């Protein structure tokens, strides 16, 4: 039997989007945040570069909007871009003035603004090279001080509770949640349920994301019948530290923003052959360029050269990156940093409106879990933290109108005749196979044949996982594998339907943009084909 808890707002995930929602929602209700490990273990705390907003009097909202639309390659929703960019300055001010985020300041006292790839101006507020960690610290401390917010760490959502399973309307009223330590499953009821679980980086073999990025929110939303879109647009960060012990440590785009130059191992710069912005080109261009150069040369990595910049500046501006590189014997003051691309950000996700509402009543999705239309086919650097803050607040404004829609009785979680797991090797083998096939077949460069091979193999793996899921008691590893495999299937399906190359999706069988595909790729469970 499962325990039963009830709250006004159930927030699944504790990054910038989830915490922003919680802090605003607590003004009009009780909030329960469920986070599957420690509260600060998500991608927010790993974000290095910063948060983009128009904060310089020489910059303009129109310029930020245009930069976002350009990088988004024809798929951004212009109304959402205008909304988020317009709310940006106030959102950053609120982080500072209300929640206590300490961004770096210039000697004048104004925010010290950086420039990153794809931006036409300096508009990125930062805290050295650990901006996400500083934002997470401030928001988490504010949440922990708030008596109306409760954080349930080491608890993982299993599936959403929906009235459709009770013969009622298409509405969500909470989730089944498993305690990672006891593996007991709770049923948590809520007027509004918010998915803020982050992205899908762990679907790929090489990723800059933390281990928790297993597409849990996307997978649960899809199983609950919500619309998803644009899962094919996976952003590969072009510069992750290449070292066998580094576990894809991210080398921030801010280094290129401050003048870093990408070079081959011969010392030759190469980005001028791919884009007029050279090493400051958008991420999709840089990632493909590095991938092409590595395949052409057979080299394992390229180098990001910062040696022409003042040594003291590098240590002061990038202390965490400098320290991590030195840990591995790499002095960025004297030699280039070896880098390779790695899966970094999911531009697609659960379809929402301008208030974070999904197509399932009382279910919201915010942050990287959502597809708001802001990023289009490729995300502009440092727009993700901005999106999380803006939509966290907007979702909280609307969620207060949600009415409780609970069934007369709630079916408790039951394991039935499921046995204790006795073959953990099934989980580890399938996990490894999913990530390798996605990296090899559905990575930076794709082909129709690779996608078809991936489709066939992922379905066999998912069949094994389904069999294991129903016959053995669930574990955290099994739940994550189930979600990763489903997300892989959704990425493959979206990629196969897009018969063109646009933004982050590059297919050598369809190397050009096609106006017929200048629209979102929408998927929904049991809804049949949706080619565009």
Residues annotated catalytic, as ranges = 283
CA distance 175 to 475: 17
DSSP bridge pairs for 124: 52, 114
CB 82 within 8 A of CB 222: no
Sheet holding 349-351, edge to edge: 370-371, 349-351, 228-229, 522-523
Q: Alpha carbon 112 to chain centroid distance?
A: 26
Q: Quick check: helix, strand or coil at residue 419?
A: strand
Q: Which two tokens stand for residue 505?
A: 């999706």
Query: Count of alpha carbons within 13 Å of 125, Cβ hemisphere only?
Result: 28
Beta strands per DSSP E along 142-233: 149-152, 155-162, 172-179, 185-195, 228-229
CB 219 within 8 A of CB 369: no
Strands 370-371 and 261-263: unpaired
CB 466 within 8 A of CB 196: no
CA distances from 434 to 211, 221, 227, 437, 440 (A): 15, 21, 23, 5, 10
| Count of residues in the chain | 532
Q: Alpha carbon 506 to chain centroid distance?
A: 20
Q: Which two tokens stand for residue 30?
A: 């009780």
Q: Quick check: helix, strand or coil at residue 478?
A: helix
DSSP conformational letter for 47:
-
CA distance 276 to 74: 19
Q: Which two tokens stand for residue 474?
A: 């669930």
φ/ψ region of 382 (left if φ > 0, alpha if ψ in -120 to 50, else beta) reads left
CB 418 within 8 A of CB 479: no
Helix pair 78-97, 61-72: axis angle to 10 deg: 120
Q: Which residues contact 416 (CB under 8 A, 6 or more apart)?
A: none
Task: Please report the DSSP string for 420-461 in residue order.
Answer: PP--HHHHHHHHHHHHHHHHHHSSSSB-HHHHHHHHHHHHHH
CA distance 312 to 167: 65
Burial class (CB in 10 A: 0-12, 13-18, 19+), 487: buried
Q: Token match 């400051």: residue?
A: 280
Beta strands per DSSP E along 330-382: 337-346, 349-351, 363-365, 370-371
> How many Cβ atoms are within 10 Å of 264's Cβ, its own excluded?
18
């Amino acid at each position: 039997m499962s325990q039963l808890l009830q709250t006004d707002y159930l927030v699944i995930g504790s990054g910038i989007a989830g915490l922003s929602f919680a802090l605003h929602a607590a003004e009009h209700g009780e909030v329960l945040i469920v986070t599957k490990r420690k509260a600060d273990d998500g991608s927010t705390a790993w974000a290095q570069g910063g948060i983009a907003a128009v904060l310089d009097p020489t910059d303009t909202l129109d310029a930020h909007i245009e930069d976002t639309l350009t990088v988004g390659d024809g798929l951004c929703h212009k109304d959402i871009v205008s909304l988020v960019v317009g709310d940006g300055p106030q959102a950053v001010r609120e982080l500072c003035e209300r929640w206590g985020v300490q961004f770096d300041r210039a000697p004048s006292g104004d925010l010290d603004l950086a420039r990153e790839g794809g931006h036409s101006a300096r508009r990125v507020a930062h805290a050295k090279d650990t901006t996400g960690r500083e934002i997470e610290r401030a928001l988490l401390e504010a949440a922990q001080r708030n008596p109306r917010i409760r954080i349930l760490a080491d608890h993982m959502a299993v599936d959403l509770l929906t009235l459709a399973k009770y013969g009622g309307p298409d509405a969500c009223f909470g989730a089944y949640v498993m305690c990672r330590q006891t593996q007991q499953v709770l049923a948590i009821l809520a007027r509004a349920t918010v998915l803020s679980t982050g992205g899908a980086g762990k679907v790929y073999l090489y990723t800059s994301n933390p281990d928790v990025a297993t597409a849990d929110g996307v997978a649960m939303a899809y199983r609950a019948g919500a619309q998803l879109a644009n899962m094919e647009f996976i952003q590969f960060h072009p510069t992750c530290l290449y070292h066998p012990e580094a576990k894809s440590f991210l080398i921030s785009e801010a280094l290129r923003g401050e003048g870093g130059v990408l070079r081959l191992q011969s010392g030759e710069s190469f980005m001028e052959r791919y884009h007029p912005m050279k090493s400051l080109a958008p991420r999709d261009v840089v990632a493909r360029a590095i991938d092409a150069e590595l395949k052409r040369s057979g080299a394992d990595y390229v180098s990001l050269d910062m040696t022409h910049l003042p040594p003291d500046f590098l240590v002061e501006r990038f202390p965490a990156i400098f320290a991590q590189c030195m840990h591995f014997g790499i002095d960025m003051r004297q030699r280039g940093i070896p880098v390779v691309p790695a899966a970094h950000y999911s531009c697609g996700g659960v379809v929402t409106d301008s208030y974070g509402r999904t197509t399932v009543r009382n279910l919201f999705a915010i942050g990287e879990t959502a597809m708001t239309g802001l990023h289009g086919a490729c995300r502009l650097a440092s727009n993700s933290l901005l999106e999380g803050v803006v939509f966290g607040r907007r979702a909280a404004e609307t969620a207060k109108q949600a009415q409780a829609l609970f069934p007369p009785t709630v079916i408790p979680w039951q394991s039935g005749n499921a046995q204790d797991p006795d073959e953990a090797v099934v989980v580890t083998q399938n996990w490894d196979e999913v990530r390798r096939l996605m990296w090899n077949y559905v990575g930076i460069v794709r082909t129709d044949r690779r996608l078809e091979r991936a489709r066939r193999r992922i379905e066999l793996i998912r069949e094994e996982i389904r069999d294991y899921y129903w016959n053995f008691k669930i574990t955290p590893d099994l739940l994550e594998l189930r979600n990763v495999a489903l997300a892989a299937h959704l990425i493959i399906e979206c990629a196969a339907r897009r018969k063109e190359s646009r933004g982050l999706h590059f297919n050598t069988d369809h190397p050009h943009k096609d106006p017929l595909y200048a629209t979102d790729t929408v998927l929904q469970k049991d809804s049949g084909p949706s080619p565009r």
